Amino acid sequence: MPHSAARIPVYRGAFGPHEAERLLWRAGFGPKRGQGRALARKGLDGAVKSLIAPGRGRMVGPKPRDDKGRPLAPRDAWGHDHLWWLDRMVRSNRPLVERMTLVWHDWFATSNEGVGSQTLMLRQNALFRHHWLGSFEHLLLAVTKDPAMLIWLSGTENTKWSPNENYGRELMELFTLGAGRGYTERDVREQARALTGFRNDWRRSVGPTNFRFDRERHDLGVKRIFGKRGKFDWRDSCRLCLHHRNHPSFFVQKLWSYFIPVAPPHGTQKALEQLYVSRDYAVRPVVEAILKHPLLYNGPRMVKPPIVFAAGLLRASGRGIDTESWTWLCANAGQQLFFPPNVAGWNDDRWLDTASYLARWDIAGRVTRPAVLDSGRDKAPFDADKLVERALRFWGNPSISPKTRRVLLSYTKRAMRTANQDWKRKSYPPLIENSLRHLIAVSPDLQTS
């Protein structure tokens, strides 16, 4: 193990179902029934290894379908792109692959609002999935010439005759260095020149097509970027950013923030930077170290992104994609896949407001709905403890804090006290169990991880 990795602290506390569940939420979309306990048995090293080096990909569970029971049409039907990916989050046996794909979607945030082609968005999505824990250099080069990105940030409008700064600016500000960290407006203009030359055609039946590099459009002259002079092209443009002294710190900080909500301690930050550079910009060792860091297990909680919340509830309840409603429900909650709010991606500090809280409530209700107990037909015990236990079982017995359990129990007792007649004592328990399933899903324990 290289020297730098040795200096990064590793979590040495108990690794039980609680810790395993947190790992599954941060590095995936939460546990399916029993997965928390199963992962805990592997211990921390085994658990992280199973995530970063999973076996062959498999989809487990019912196949996705639309409201009419038909297969999805992710390239064509509005919102089906969202459903198609949500289904992978719910069913894939390689959760970190999908989670890293989501990280890159947010990092290189491209919206179909500007691209206007689900086909190109899905192609970009495949690119992110392919590079999930690979080399950031390869990923950056691939994204730079990715058709969806070329449309989104005006790459194919960037010619030697009229340079367009859109991609060059975001390449530094959002993708590799951070705003104002070691580049000038002149660097932006010169980057734009280096990035000239991409073009595409337009065919009526297909839309934008035949994306390619055209030397005729590329500015062959000498550019001056970060104080270096050369006849730079788009590959140089990417590598200059990658080799910039401020890139490793940007990379580590940003990657870390997807998994742990407080900044890494200085020593850890430095060691992760060294690890990243010494391994030729490989993502895997950095993610591995983050997933084993003590702060992931004993640090503060994170609000689950809406898509993680929704996918997690579906996984926990064993339900597949059987309605198109997930697209608008997740959009209401602030996260429609393939439509990040802007090129800076989603703002993870701001998932919750009164409107998105209601949307998350609706998501929870939508998950519980097909299985609701009928007050006339179904029976449930007139016993507060048992009702809470039964409702927790619906979600695969997630760990719940004693405080939350107390609130649920006192609610249950209050609801039971309203049953002041015989018929109510019979018909209310199923209602209470329904309500408890819903409340558990919106509790702090399940909305954060």
Partner 1 sequence: MARCCNEFSRSSLMHTAVAEAASGLPAIEPGMPLPAGTGLDRRSFVLRSAGLALAVYGAGALKLPLFEEGVLEAASAAPSQPVLVSLFLDGGADSLSLLAPVGDPEYRRLRPKLALPDSGLAFTEDPRLRWHPSAGSLRTLHLEGKLTVVPTVGYTDADQSHFTSRHYWEVGATNAGLRTGWLGRYLDKAGRNDNPLQGLSLDGELSPSIATRKAPVAALRGADQYSFWAPGVWGDVEREMMNTIGPLGRARGYGDRALASLANTATQASRLRTQLSVFTNRGNGSNRFGSPVPYPEHRSAFPQRLAGLAAMLAAGLPLRCVALRAYGMYDTHSEQPEALAAGLKLTSETLLAFQRDLEARGLADRVLTLVWSEFGRRGEENGSLGTDHGAAGVALLMGSRARGQMIGELPNLKTAFDRNGNLKATVDFRSVYSSLLEQWFDFDAAAVIPRARSYRRLQLVR
Q: Would you say 125 or 375 has its CB closer to partner 1?
A: 375
Least gap, CB of 338 to partner 1 (angstroms): 12
CB of 294 to partner 1, least distance (A): 16
Residue 177 Cβ, how far from partner 1 at the closest point, in Å?
18
Rounded to the nearest whole angstrom, what is the least distance from the CB of residue 201 to partner 1 in the complex? 18
Contact of 334 with 306, CB cutoff 8 Å:
yes
| Identity of the residue, 248 or 398, whose beta carbon is nearer to partner 1 in the bound complex | 398
CB 321 to partner 1: min, Å = 18
Shortest separation between residue 113's beta carbon and partner 1, angstroms: 5
Smaller CB separation from partner 1, 106 or 233 = 106
* Residue with smaller CB distance to partner 1, 54 or 299: 299
**Closest distance to partner 1 from the beta carbon of 28 (Å):** 18
> Which residue's CB is nearer to partner 1, number 14 or number 358?
358
Least distance (Å) between residue 71 CB and partner 1 = 27
**Which tokens belong to 7?**
């200096």
Closer to partner 1 by CB, 45 or 113: give it. Answer: 113
Nearer to partner 1, 136 or 395 (CB): 395
For residue 209, list its beta bridge partners: 201
The binding site for partner 1 (CB under 8 A) comprises 111, 113-114, 116, 154, 166, 261, 300-303, 332, 334, 339-344, 346-347, 349-358, 361-362, 365, 368-369, 372-375, 401, 403-404, 406-408, 411, 414-415, 418-419, 424, 428, 430-432, 434-435, 438-439, 442-445, 447-448
Bridge partners, residue 92, by sequence: 59
Cβ closer to partner 1: 141 or 373? 373
